[in-house]
Amino acid sequence: MNTATHALDPHGAHAAAPTGILRWLTTTNHKDIGTMYMTFSLLMFFVGGAMILAVRAELFQPGLQLMKPEFFNQLIGVHALVMIFAALMPAATGFANWMIPLMIGAPDMALPRLNNWGFWLLPPAAILLTLPFVLALFGIGDGAVATGWTLYAPLSVQGGIGVDFAIFAIHILGVSSIMGSINIIATILNMRAPGMTLMQMPLFCWGWLVTAVLLIITLPVLAGGVTMLLTDRHFGTHFFDAAGGGDPILFQHLFWFFGHPEVYILLLPVWGLMPHVLSTFTRKPTYGHTAQVWSFIAIGVLGLVVWAHHFLTAGLPVPALLYFMYSTMSISLPLAVLFFCWIATMWRGAMSFETPMLFAVGFIVLFGIAGLTGLVLADVAADAQYHHSYFVVAHFHYALFTGGIMGVMTGVYYWLPKWTGHMYSEKLGKLHFWLTVVSFNLTFMPQFFLGLAGMPRRIPDYALQFAEFNAISTVGSFILGLSQLIFAYNIWRCVKGGEKASDAVWEGTSGLEWELSSPPPHHSWETQPVSKA
């Protein structure tokens, strides 16, 4: 079908498309752009990972061995910003670019040039984030942002040049995400194959639709917040200064109005792809498609009105504390619906455990721990003890590593044969899975205990009684970091060659994306299919 329509291509100039580096700089093709997003994400995953391994090495023993506390602070802040904005978000956007047009039967994204711009904004932002490290080596400035990724005032008002770099990196990343979101919404609303109603649309697209709306609602508020931070730093305003009538807590409100929905921005694309994987490897249709759609929407809406649970100890009035506690806990209802649907999809299925399925099941179990510890943290009375402790660090790594990054790995293993036309090595994939799951728990499970015992986060040194658990955690983190090299090698191997993948790739797949060849032709659905759903 595709060769036939290609001959009719009225523009006919595709043969002259640039090759080499120019192909990637100039491309307007959703698959090329998706590949760039995924590659960038993998690269930055290792950059952010290297930073945190240095941190864990410092924390291996009490006392200061490797670095000054200032540099330690820079590493943890930039680690978080890199992992969130330059590793996880681009990976999800890469999935969206690759898969949404294939799934909904679209010829490409709705706004292809804008799509390219969205990607090429990322490298400048990553350079801005990390450049201060390099400048400091030449005696310019005092290094990267050292406030933690939350940039709380007044610390960030007083901080060095690294804060300015971080502010503009966030601005550029924000533009990138908003352009990407606009494109995804326009694609989903305008480019679906005839016959595909919104409710029949694949859940991955639904997860991204809610994500994109959340990004458009919340990212501009973060942009406004860091702009006020910039004027407080350099132009004499007093937004976050009580002497002028302002309030540092105002920054926390603005930051977390973005920051909490950001968690769902990172997780919703993964929640969207899970049902596809579970349904494929249990050879059963997804359980509760409509219920999952409404859960996504409910989580998106609730996610916008619970932000202050990130600073319950900041001195908010009691009615506000109660409101934010109950509203936060109410999110567990739609989330429980999702868990139920995932498990019900597997119920009595003809299950097989290829690597993507292993990651999916691992995700469900470990992400469940993130959800349950989140409930504990939302409790105002209990939070007074847990706040700003390693319990929080462990909680959000269970949420964002297993919920986010393991979800991305699920998707990569699931779709890689479709993208490259080759099967990856199942043996290496399984090795990667088991090493990742075991070492992840080895790294982060002790941190729950450390937090309960009272170890505060964001410190380079600690009291002696925390030594054993920190040593275990550091050993775990190095195994975790090094096992990701297997992941990278497996991807590289799969791109280079290997056993040919069939069009449907897996036995239990359903959906338009599996009707195309593996890899799909340069212009996937040049003529739209008709959805049979």
Q: Which of residues 159-198 bind another protein (CB under 8 A)?
A: 161, 164-165, 168, 171-172, 175, 178, 181-183, 185-187, 189-191, 194
Question: CA-CA distance, 371 to 109, in Å (whole number)?
Answer: 34
Q: In the set 114, 314, 428, 442, which binds another protein (CB under 8 A)?
A: 114
530 counts as binding another protein under rule CB under 8 A: yes
Which DSSP helix (H) or strand (E) runs through 250?
Answer: helix 248-282
With CB under 8 A as the rule, give the number of residues binding another protein.
Answer: 87
134 counts as binding another protein under rule CB under 8 A: no
111 counts as binding another protein under rule CB under 8 A: yes
User: In this structure, what token pair is assigned to residue 160?
Assistant: 């060095």
Question: CA-CA distance, 422 to 519, in Å (whole number)?
Answer: 8
Q: Which amino acid is at 116?
A: N
Question: Which listed range, 196-204, 213-221, 362-370, 418-426, lies at the site for another protein (CB under 8 A)?
Answer: 213-221
Question: CA-CA distance, 302 to 122, in Å (whole number)?
Answer: 29
Residues in the chain: 533
Of residues 24 through 43, those in contact with another protein by CB under 8 A are 25-29
Closest CB 187 distance from another protein, rounded Å: 8
Residue 497 near residue 99 (C-beta atoms within 8 A): no
Query: Who's near 7: CB < 8 A, 6+ residues apart?
Result: none
Closest CB 212 distance from another protein, rounded Å: 8
Q: In the set 50, 63, 113, 336, which binds another protein (CB under 8 A)?
A: 113
Closest CB 329 distance from another protein, rounded Å: 25
Question: CA-CA distance, 436 to 406, in Å (whole number)?
Answer: 9
Of residues 266 through 305, those in contact with another protein by CB under 8 A are none
Q: How many CB atoms lie within 10 A of CB 487?
A: 22
Closest CB 78 distance from another protein, rounded Å: 16
Closest CB 296 distance from another protein, rounded Å: 18
Q: In the set 73, 116, 147, 420, which binds another protein (CB under 8 A)?
A: 116
Closest CB 263 distance from another protein, rounded Å: 18
Question: Which listed range, 57-65, 283-291, 347-355, 521-529, lies at the site for another protein (CB under 8 A)?
Answer: 521-529
Q: In the set 54, 57, 67, 141, which binds another protein (CB under 8 A)?
A: 141
Select 226 or 491, whichever has its Cβ closest to another protein. Answer: 226
Of residues 89 through 108, those in contact with another protein by CB under 8 A are 106-108
Select 106 or 369, whichever has its Cβ closest to another protein. Answer: 106
**Exposed / middle / buried, residue 158 (Cβ in 10 Å: 0-12, 13-18, 19+):** exposed
Residue 1 near residue 524 (C-beta atoms within 8 A): no
236 counts as binding another protein under rule CB under 8 A: yes
Fill in the per-residue mask, 242 to 271: x = in contact with another protein (CB under 8 A), - = not in contact: xxxxxx-xx--xx-----------------
485 counts as binding another protein under rule CB under 8 A: no
Question: CA-CA distance, 85 to 173, in Å (whole number)?
Answer: 7
237 counts as binding another protein under rule CB under 8 A: yes
Question: CA-CA distance, 466 to 468, in Å (whole number)?
Answer: 6
496 counts as binding another protein under rule CB under 8 A: no
Residue 421 near residue 503 (C-beta atoms within 8 A): no
Q: What are the helix (H) ranges across 398-503?
A: 406-420, 426-452, 467-496
| Nearest of 103, 70, 5, 56 to residue 515 by alpha carbon | 103
Residue 218 near residue 257 (C-beta atoms within 8 A): yes
Q: How many CB atoms lie within 10 A of CB 235?
A: 7
- H helices, E strands: number in the chain: 20, 0
Residue 341 near residue 288 (C-beta atoms within 8 A): yes
Question: Which listed range, 232-240, 394-402, 425-433, 443-451, lies at the site for another protein (CB under 8 A)?
Answer: 232-240
Question: Which listed range, 43-51, 428-436, 448-456, 524-532, lies at the site for another protein (CB under 8 A)?
Answer: 524-532
Select 181 or 425, whichever has its Cβ closest to another protein. Answer: 181
Question: Which listed range, 230-238, 348-356, 425-433, 445-453, lies at the site for another protein (CB under 8 A)?
Answer: 230-238
Select 61 or 510, whichever has its Cβ closest to another protein. Answer: 510
Query: Who's near 150: CB < 8 A, 6+ residues apart?
Result: 252, 255, 259
Select 17 or 471, whichever has its Cβ closest to another protein. Answer: 17
Query: Who's near 275: CB < 8 A, 6+ residues apart?
Result: 203, 286, 289, 292, 341, 342, 345
Select 103 or 358, whichever has its Cβ closest to another protein. Answer: 103
Closest CB 117 distance from another protein, rounded Å: 4
